[in-house]
Amino acid sequence: AQSVAQPEDQVNVAEGNPLTVKCTYSVSGNPYLFWYVQYPNRGLQFLLKYITGDNLVKGSYGFEAEFNKSQTSFHLKKPSALVSDSALYFCAVRARAGKSTFGDGTTLTVKP
Partner 1 sequence: DTEVTQTPKHLVMGMTNKKSLKCEQHMGHRAMYWYKQKAKKPPELMFVYSYEKLSINESVPSRFSPECPNSSLLNLHLHALQPEDSALYLCASSPQWAPMNTEAFFGQGTRLTVV
* Residues making contact with partner 1 (CB under 8 A): 32, 34, 36, 41-46, 49, 51, 88, 90, 94-95, 98-100, 102-105, 107
Minimum distance between the CB of residue 47 and partner 1, rounded to whole angstroms?
9
User: In whole angstroms, what is the distance from residue 29 CA to residue 72 CA?
Assistant: 12
Partners of 20 in the β-ladder: 77
- Residue nearer to partner 1 on the CB measure, 77 or 105: 105
CB of 16: closest distance to partner 1 in angstroms?
Answer: 26
What is the full DSSP assignment across 24-54? Answer: EEE-SS--EEEEEEE-TTS-EEEEEEE-SS-
